[in-house]
Amino acid sequence: MALDRSNTPNDLSAFWMPFTANRQFKKAPRMLVSADGMFYKTADGRDVLDGTAGLWCCNAGHNRPKIVEAIRKQAGELDYAPAFQMGHPVAFELASRLRDMAPAPFEHVFFTNSGSESVETALKIALAYQRAIGQGSRTRLIGRERGYHGVNFGGISVGGIVNNRKFFGSLLTGVDHLPHTHLAENAYSKGQPEHGAHLADDLERIVALHGPETIAAVIVEPMAGSTGVLLPPKGYLERLREITRKHGILLIFDEVITGFGRLGSSFAAEHFGVMPDLITCAKGLTNGVIPMGAVLATKEIHDAFMQGPEHMIELFHGYTYSGSPIASAAGIATLETYKEEGLFERAAELAPYWQEALHSLKGLPHVKDIRNMGLIGAVELEPIAGEPAKRAFAAFLDAYEKGILIRTTGDIIAMSPPLIIEKSHIDQLIGTLADVLKKLH
């Protein structure tokens, strides 16, 4: 059914809004009608401070002139070009800039349209690569509990969020999961927690169970964002890299959230000094303005596919809108904005102030843990007995009414503000959240 716009925003009965928290949306819609800089404007005329960069994606803030103009200009020159057997220079330019921004091992880019598609693409590249090098028995994929890798079938199979999996059947076969890294003894850690590197050793158990010759790839988020900002313990990623390399298993970092300055570096791989074989990204690639994603691959992986006749297809995979001209133009303008304004460096400089502000919430009612890294933070609340997620959702509603936008997952409040945030905005965001928590039932 089509949305009857004559009654918007009061009548949303014909509109099935994805991921609405509950049916109250129809009674009191939280409608955002415009955005600029650090703020959204609501349908009732209020300014709401964006504490989540949209959905982890508007890293340069909203309504950025260079990005807006790039989209407008490109639409008037080349609106679409086929992605198969054809190309256009804007996509090649964006790929070159991504290569220059990425850590040294990554020299090639495969464009997608979202983080979910980036994950599917990386998984397929990993399987096809193993076959291309004569390791066709490597078909098993390893994910992690509480991991989030999008909502397509490959992503939810290697992902570890119960409600994303249980409604959709048996999913992909041949998938195992590592344990998550969220340990109670690490509560209130500032940055990387001390305990838990040993959890990577569970991969050795999985390898022993199935045989290394059956495992194609391991995929993890360097820092799990969507399940509540779960940080990698010191030494954990290094150990994971060591074990995968030892057994000829590819390591995939899902950097859909951590990419493009969120931790103060271009990618989390650079921040942690651990280089995987494939990196997935999206969100901040175009500042959330136009859907686009990408998979970054090393030269070794790329070259393994380039052994056949020139007229043959190297990888039987792709999308109608892969590297579309308008999305590519938006991506170039976004990367230029990041560089010209030094936003990644800015995030690194603001991280200590953000950390101390966030941890000032310790001791407020119902707060059981606080976690942070770069310009990401989480406040975990004690759940209401028998009513999980209700307390955090109540905080979300009150925060919105008080003029700040936060995100909740279960009983965890997550924040990831645009990298253009000022210290005064941090004070407003955390100060308002403190007021919300003090009155929370």
Proportion of the chain in helix, strand, coil states, percent, rounded to 5: 40, 20, 45
Q: Is the pTM of this model over 0.85?
A: yes
User: 380 near 186, Cβ under 8 Å?
Assistant: no
Tens digit of pLDDT for each residue in 261-290? 999 999 999 999 999 999 999 999 999 999
Q: What is the signed CA dihedral for 16, 402, 377, 263, rounded to 10 degrees?
A: 80
Dihedral sign for Cα atoms in the order 334, 339, 340, 346: positive
In this prediction, residue 193 carries a pLDDT of 98
Which DSSP category does 30 fall into? -
Q: ω into residue 9 within 30 of 0, thus cis?
A: yes
CB atoms within 10 A of CB 198: 11
For residue 118 the two structure tokens come to 């980036």
Q: Report the pLDDT averaged over residues 361-374.
A: 98
What integer pLDDT is reported at residue 312 of this predicted model? 87
Compute CA distances 317 → 83, 306, 310, 349, whole Å: 11, 15, 17, 40
Q: What is the predicted pLDDT for the residue at 5? A: 41
CB 4 within 8 A of CB 14: yes
For residue 441, name the pLDDT band (cuts at 50, 70, 90).
Answer: confident
Task: Calculate what percentage of the chain has a pLDDT beyond 90.
Answer: 90
Residue pLDDT, tens place only, 71-112: 999 999 999 999 998 999 999 999 999 999 999 999 999 999
Q: Give first-to-last CA distance, the chain, whole Å.
A: 39
**Whole-Å CA distances, 319 to 107, 207, 224, 292:** 21, 33, 27, 11
The token duo for 54 is: 């949209």
Q: Is 26 a residue whose pLDDT tops 50?
A: no
Per-residue pLDDT band for 15 (boundaries 50, 70, 90) equals low
The pLDDT-based confidence of 25 (bands split at 50, 70, 90) is: very low
Question: What is the pLDDT averaged over residues 390-394?
Answer: 97
- Model pLDDT, residue 9: 44
What is the arithmetic mean of pLDDT over 387-392? 96
Residue with the two structure tokens 């169970």: 209
Q: pLDDT tens digits, residue range 340-360?
A: 999 999 999 999 999 999 999
| Predicted confidence band of residue 16 (pLDDT cuts 50, 70, 90) | low
Residue 273: what pLDDT? 97
Whether the CB-CB separation of 250 and 129 falls below 8 Å is answered with yes
pLDDT of residue 19: 47
Residue that is written with structure tokens 């220079």 in the block: 89
Q: Is 262 helix (H, G, I), strand (E, B) or coil?
A: coil
Read out DSSP for 1-30? ----GGGTTT--TT---TT-SSTHHHHS--
Give pLDDT, residue 29.
61
| Residues above pLDDT 70, as percent of the chain | 93
Supply the DSSP symbol for 44: T
Give the closest residue to 79 by CA, choosing from 320, 326, 327, 319: 326
Reply yes or no on whether the pLDDT at 10 is more than 90: no
One-character DSSP codes across 73-100 = HHHHH-S---SSS---HHHHHHHHHHHH
Q: Do 14 and 2 form a contact (C-beta atoms < 8 A)? A: yes
Over 80: is that where the pLDDT of 213 sits? yes
**pLDDT grade for 66, boundaries at 50, 70 and 90:** very high
Q: How far apart, in whole angstroms, are the C-alpha atoms of residue 128 and residue 114?
A: 21
Residue 45 backbone zone (phi > 0: left; psi -120 to 50: alpha; other: beta): left
Strands 407-409 and 412-415: antiparallel
